[in-house]
Structure 1
Amino acid sequence: MNKGGFVTAMSAHGSITKKDAEYFLTIFADTLRDSLQQDARIALPGIGVFTVEERAARTGRNPGNGREIRIPAKKVVKFKTAKEIANVVA
């Protein structure tokens, strides 16, 4: 499902206009991004938990030529799904 389909589903499920649904989705995405930039842990009951973790530097291998390369350390966003969602998908 893409953004348009999700907005349509939100508007139908919540009995709101598509314009309002898109506005709420944009606010949610902006707030999530801003919070994760500050390394916040975001727990959304019934949805899951977003965290920022540090990935250590490591040695990898270039698949094209097989040579070793150095992969620098970086921060990554992790998401752990809530049981309610995981059980529906399983």
Structure 2
Amino acid sequence: MAGVIRRHELTDAAWVRIEPLLPGHPRQGGWWVDHRMVLNGILWKLATGAPWRDLPERYGNWKTVYERYRRWAADGTFDSLLEHVQVHDDSVGRI
């Protein structure tokens, strides 16, 4: 992701750590919105508490971001991310 990293967005270092842990693209055809853009939208929403419909356009369609958030919450993706970060940070003495 080129450009300025805004407040509440993933740094390049954080993205490198979590990108491999995110689900792959759907098996069926169709266009898939970039995970990093969507995840940054989710982080913006959670940090601001704003309604999903107020999501800035730079994060894509609010419904797409919401649906990905809902899917990842239900399928355990967020739990896996948290566990990975906790295990990694504990192994390097950050916890």
TM-score of the aligned structures, taking structure 1 as reference length: 0.30
Higher RCO (C-alpha 8 Å, min separation 6):
2
> Which structure carries more helix by proportion?
2
TM-score of the aligned structures, taking structure 2 as reference length: 0.29
> Which structure carries more strand by proportion?
1
